[in-house]
């Protein structure tokens, strides 16, 4: 598949390791746009909770998400993410969202929809993306625009299965918080060979 039109730097790591701080600072220093893909899943989760959709009912979740317009784009150097015309990102860290987001993120149709939107962002600007599967899923496919309005829900009879469990860290890499002290500047990145 064709490569994405702009560079995408992927940042992943364990909870409370400094990913967000590191990613924001790296994006700032490079002049890239910071995107938290996890916040998008959390935003969808909050919206579903506001609509009283049972998160453990994958069919209901998919139906609700396909029935509403989802907008994913960059505006003034920031992620603009709306579902049903509402910006849910300010609610992304609520405790009830934390409790439900894993149920939503396990649903293949939701992942496909959000990944398409994440890929479309790389068509707009260089990115620092914080989240799971950025290098293996988001960055490997052709960028395309995302809209769920008038989309047809999957009619697959395959059961919705949880994602495989990943180790929280590699045994060969010591766990330590990320640091912004030794981040490269944009000028040092531009001198790297292509």
Domains and CATH numbers, the chain: 8-148 (3.40.50.300)
Tell me the whole-structure pTM to 2 decimals: 0.69
Say how far apart CA 23 and CA 137 lie, in whole Å. Answer: 19
Q: Would you tell me how many other CB atoms lie within 10 Å of the CB of residue 56?
A: 8
pLDDT attached to residue 136: 52
CA dist 74 → 5, 50, 83, 102, 125 (Å): 15, 25, 15, 25, 8
Tokens 């300010």 — which residue?
90
pLDDT digits (tens, 9 = 90+) for 64-86: 999 999 999 999 989 999 999 99
Given a cut of 70, is residue 33 above it in pLDDT? yes
Percentage, residues of the chain above pLDDT 90? 45
Q: What angle do CA 167, 182, 24 make, to 5 degrees?
A: 65
pLDDT attached to residue 45: 97
Chain centre distance of CA 128? 11
């Amino acid at each position: 598949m064709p490569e994405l039109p702009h560079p995408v730097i992927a940042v992943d790591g364990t909870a409370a390791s400094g990913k967000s701080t590191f990613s924001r600072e790296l994006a700032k220093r490079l002049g890239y746009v910071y995107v938290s893909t996890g916040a998008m899943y959390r935003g969808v989760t909050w919206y579903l909770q506001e609509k009283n959709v049972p998160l453990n009912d994958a069919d209901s979740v998919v139906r609700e998400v396909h029935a509403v317009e989802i907008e994913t784009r960059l505006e003034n150097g920031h992620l603009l993410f709306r579902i049903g015309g509402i910006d849910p990102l300010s609610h992304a860290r609520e405790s009830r969202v934390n409790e439900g987001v894993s149920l939503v993120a396990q649903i293949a149709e939701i992942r496909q929809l959000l990944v398409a939107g994440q890929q479309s962002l790389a068509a707009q600007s260089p990115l620092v993306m914080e989240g799971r599967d950025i290098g293996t899923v988001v960055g490997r496919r052709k960028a395309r625009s995302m809209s769920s309005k008038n989309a047809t829900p999957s009619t697959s009879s395959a059961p919705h299965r949880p994602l495989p469990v990943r180790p929280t860290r590699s045994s060969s890499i010591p766990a330590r918080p990320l640091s912004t002290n030794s981040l490269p500047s944009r000028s040092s990145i531009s001198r790297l060979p292509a």
